[in-house]
Amino acid sequence: VSSSWSSSLPPALAKLGKQVSKHRDRAQAAAIEAMMEASISESLLQCLAVFSELISSAKQDDPHPAVQHFLSLHSSLTKP
């Protein structure tokens, strides 16, 4: 993690700058992972909402709406 400024600074400041840069990189990686986890959680919550609708809309005399909800849920779960 070398920057153009590191060669012009005193060694102690250059070392501190490198440490701060590494810390920034780790924080960015953690933020990216947190955003991915939040996105996955949101998708799961949406699937649970569709499943809830599926359960409440299921009727023996007219299964078509429940089947459509099921297919929507299945599609959501199988997306990469």
Report the candidate in 34, 62, 33, 57 with the shortest Cα–Cα distance to residue 73.
Answer: 57
Taking the whole predicted model, whether its pTM rises above 0.85 is answered as no
DSSP state of 11: H
Distance CA 28, CA 48 (A): 30
pLDDT tens-digit series, residues 7-38? 889 999 999 999 999 999 999 999 999 999 99
Q: Which residue, chain included where needed, has tokens 């993690």?
A: 1
**DSSP structural state of residue 18:** H
